[in-house]
Amino acid sequence: MLIRKDQRALELAAFKEKTRSILKTFEAGMRDTHPVQRSWLEDYIVHISIRNVGFAFPLTHNANLEYPKSGSRESSAIPAFLWSIKSIMFETHRGETGQAKMKDFSFQFTPK
């Protein structure tokens, strides 16, 4: 009975070794056939900075509204939504870490 146990243990060890070698061939084949796609962000440090951004959105829908010609001192006062940002900064370091900052965000509704 002891001989049979030893024989079974040897067979099991041989089976485990054969399984390991088969799995290693699959791993090597997968690495070679499917190269890992890297993002361009992984190779660079990206820093984007935008300063003094502002928009004015008219709050009236008047098809007959005429805007003053360029260089003219005439002005039409209409209600508007004003939106401004002092600065926006975005950074990423080789695709691992990143941050975004926005400073002095403001908006305002104006009657004229």
Q: Which residue would you say has higher pLDDT here, 109 or 2?
A: 109
The two three-digit tokens of residue 41, written as one number: 């962000």
- The model carries a pTM of 0.44
The two three-digit tokens of residue 64, written as one number: 């007959």
- SS3 label, residue 103: strand
The string of pLDDT tens digits covering residues 33-76 is 556 677 776 778 888 999 999 988 888 876 666 665 665 556 66
